Chain A
Amino acid sequence: MFGNRSHYWWMVLPAFILFFGFHTYPALQGLFYSFTNFRGYGNWEFVGFKNYINVFKDSRALSAYFFTLQFAIVATILTNIASLAIAVGLNSNIKLKTFLRAVYFIPNVLSILIVGFIFKFILSNLVPGIFPDGSVLSRNILGNPDLAWIGIVIVAVWQAMAFNTLLYLAGLQTISDDLYEAANIDGASRWQQFRMITFPLIAPFFTINMVLALKNFLMAFDHIMALTGGGPGRATESISIVIYRGGFEGGQFAYQSANAVIYFIVILVLSIVQLRALKLREN
């Protein structure tokens, strides 16, 4: 019997080896080194939970956690509102619908770094030229420690909307036109139809979009590297950037591995809580 199924194993095995070799093994190695004082080179010894305790005392790490959470929550909400609105528009009976769907998906296939550099140019050169002197936007917001995160949110939302819109469109297309016709006859306004029919019926798509968006934004790295590099100062430093800089450039491999483990747990817990809460709402 096993012999008859051996070809299935051959189909699975390459992916398993690649996944284990390039994902699971490094992750386990990182977990291992998080209990040491390894700097990325040289000798090391076990230090127990010292690295983990130090993360909670590290103001730079805590500030990065605060920034990342703030950025992720705002970007998740804005992305979902915007992409749902776009999806509803693209699902309606408008001209050039198919063309516009393709246009709205383009940001998803562009490199995040390239998009980031383009927006950096726009926000630092083009936008200030448009607005009059003295207004907030007359100066490069990416150079303002209080406003730089907004620039990052704009770019991140712009790019993330493409995929979320696609998922919402898929959800909207599962709703039969009959339901809207029935609601129309029953006297439901457009807003009532959205609130009482559309939104409840795309609840599973809302759940997956919210969870994926929050997870992706919590892991934000490329946008920030391209736009601000974590600056001005450390105003837009996300956890990923702190881990990258400390771990690969600052000789804190073990310490940032502990930070990465903590961050993994934070993302996992947030995703599970979010998933459970949204599933409850679906029911």
Chain B
Amino acid sequence: MTSVILKKVEKSFGAVTVIPPLDLEIPEGSFTVFVGPSGCGKSTLLRLIAGLEEVSTGTLEIGGRDVTTSEPSDRGIAMVFQSYALYPHMTVADNIAFPLKVLKRPQTEINAAVAKAADMLQLDALLTRKPKDLSGGQRQRVAIGRAIVRDAGVLLFDEPLSNLDASLRGQMRVELSDLHRNMGATMIYVTHDQVEAMTMADQIVVLRAGVIEQVGSPMTLYEKPMTPFVAGFIGSPNMNLMEGQIAKEHGCDVLGIRPEHLYRCAPDDALLSGTVRHAENLGAETVAYVKTQQAGEILIRIDGKERLSIGDSISLTADRSNWHLFADGKRMS
């Protein structure tokens, strides 16, 4: 198991700084997820750790060793790419065996390692196939197999599930979490999907424009977002971030309340009141868009058994403990 420590790491392309100096510690054995919108620098940060991009300034340590200028192959890492990056002319077995073949390991060792990885990833029946004959999920497993066969201390994943359909993504999330538990390796995972971040991570790093907005466990980020950006990014549906008069009345710039924390109440007790503009009944829950007098359009998430129709008048409130108050872009204590 291996920790990863970034000290004042900065990345510039010419005159453009995409990642201003940042400090980050990824504990050994953790499943850390870099999450953020497109262009926030999360993939660049991963590629800096992998050694596929050079660090402009600062130092990078993996397993206590300074690897800032080391070759990718000397960093003790393995990586799963968004495109899978499987060698199309090689069979599944050859793809998985590739890292060991280039290291000129004995054939018996290679065979054993491939068999072990194939068994772990349920690829036994596919070993003689080529990537073009595999489904997206199977290709993903082969890419993971190639990464784990090296026994690297740190596994890097660059949006590995983004090319899969929703149901397969859900299945692969579970499998990746299982893999992490079984291997115990440090895993760093990049995604723009906060559901993946919440369900798999034990540490989430939220990035915005190359800057770390907040680092913490999924529940910390959910319960105590430190900035309006994190508050709006983590959680699904997104938190209602209300500005203007309603925020001022409560002594802040932005008042945040999650859709699931709003509930119906008597008109006299209402924090917000308005009419239902649109309702999506998902069975177990209903997500509704409510046009309020106090804060414009907001989202609520209520039990699926509660029926809402477009045009219904509705009064809403939330427990004070579920309010998130922000001023000057920071959480108020």
The reply to whether A189 and B87 form a contact with Cβ atoms under 8 Å apart is no
Residue of B nearest to A201 (CB): B89
Cβ of B314 within 8 Å of any chain A Cβ, yes or no, is: no
The reply to whether B81 and A186 form a contact with Cβ atoms under 8 Å apart is no
The reply to whether A185 and B87 form a contact with Cβ atoms under 8 Å apart is no
The reply to whether A186 and B52 form a contact with Cβ atoms under 8 Å apart is no
The reply to whether B150 and A186 form a contact with Cβ atoms under 8 Å apart is yes
Cβ of A3 within 8 Å of any chain B Cβ, yes or no, is: no
The reply to whether B88 and A185 form a contact with Cβ atoms under 8 Å apart is no
Cβ of A179 within 8 Å of any chain B Cβ, yes or no, is: yes
Cβ of B103 within 8 Å of any chain A Cβ, yes or no, is: yes
The reply to whether A187 and B85 form a contact with Cβ atoms under 8 Å apart is no
Give the distance in Å from the alpha carbon of A183 to the alpha carbon of B50 in the complex. 12
Known: A185-B78, A186-B102, A196-B102. 12 other contacts (CB 8 A): A178-B85, A181-B79, A181-B85, A182-B81, A184-B72, A185-B50, A185-B52, A185-B72, A185-B77, A189-B102, A192-B102, A201-B88
**Proximity bits, A174-199, B CB within 8 Å = 1, else 0:** 00101101111111110010001100
Cβ of A233 within 8 Å of any chain B Cβ, yes or no, is: no
Cβ of A200 within 8 Å of any chain B Cβ, yes or no, is: yes
Most buried by A among B50, B88, B103: B88
Shortest distance between the CB of B101 and any CB in chain A (Å): 8
Give the distance in Å from the alpha carbon of A182 to the alpha carbon of B85 in the complex. 7
Known: A184-B73, A186-B150. A176 touches B102 (CB 8 A): no
Residue of A nearest to B77 (CB): A185
Which residues from A are CB-within-8-Å of B103?
A: 187
The reply to whether A197 and B87 form a contact with Cβ atoms under 8 Å apart is yes
Which residues from A are CB-within-8-Å of B50?
A: 185
Which residues from B are CB-within-8-Å of A179?
A: 85, 87
Interface residues on B, range: 20 to 34
Shortest distance between the CB of A93 and any CB in chain B (Å): 13
Chain A interfacial residues counted at CB < 8 A? 18
The reply to whether A181 and B146 form a contact with Cβ atoms under 8 Å apart is no
Give the distance in Å from the alpha carbon of A176 to the alpha carbon of B221 in the complex. 37
The reply to whether B83 and A186 form a contact with Cβ atoms under 8 Å apart is no
Shortest distance between the CB of B89 and any CB in chain A (Å): 5
Which residues from A are CB-within-8-Å of B81?
A: 178, 181-182
The reply to whether A184 and B52 form a contact with Cβ atoms under 8 Å apart is yes
Which residues from A are CB-within-8-Å of B77?
A: 185
The reply to whether A186 and B88 form a contact with Cβ atoms under 8 Å apart is no
11 A–B contacts, CB within 8 A, in A order: A182-B85, A185-B51, A185-B52, A186-B78, A186-B98, A186-B150, A187-B73, A188-B98, A189-B102, A197-B87, A201-B88
Known: A197-B87, A200-B89. A182 touches B79 (CB 8 A): yes
Give the distance in Å from the alpha carbon of A27 to the alpha carbon of B85 in the complex. 50
Which residues from B are CB-within-8-Å of A178?
A: 81, 83, 85
Shortest distance between the CB of A191 and any CB in chain B (Å): 10
Most buried by A among B50, B51, B98: B98
Report B38-97 residues with CB < 8 Å from chain A CB.
Answer: 50-52, 71-73, 77-79, 81, 83, 85, 87-89
Give the distance in Å from the alpha carbon of A179 to the alpha carbon of B143 in the complex. 11
Residue of B nearest to A181 (CB): B52
Most buried by B among A178, A185, A197: A185
Residue of A nearest to B88 (CB): A201
Report A147-192 residues with CB < 8 Å from chain B CB.
Answer: 176, 178-179, 181-189, 192
Give the distance in Å from the alpha carbon of A182 to the alpha carbon of B158 in the complex. 12
Which residues from A are CB-within-8-Å of B79?
A: 181-182, 185
Residue of B nearest to A184 (CB): B72
Shortest distance between the CB of B78 and any CB in chain A (Å): 7
Give the distance in Å from the alpha carbon of A192 to the alpha carbon of B52 in the complex. 18
The reply to whether A186 and B73 form a contact with Cβ atoms under 8 Å apart is yes
Which residues from B are CB-within-8-Å of A196?
A: 87, 98, 101-102
Residue of B nearest to A187 (CB): B73
Give the distance in Å from the alpha carbon of A228 to the alpha carbon of B73 in the complex. 54
The reply to whether A187 and B52 form a contact with Cβ atoms under 8 Å apart is no
The reply to whether A188 and B102 form a contact with Cβ atoms under 8 Å apart is yes
Give the distance in Å from the alpha carbon of A119 to the alpha carbon of B192 in the complex. 61
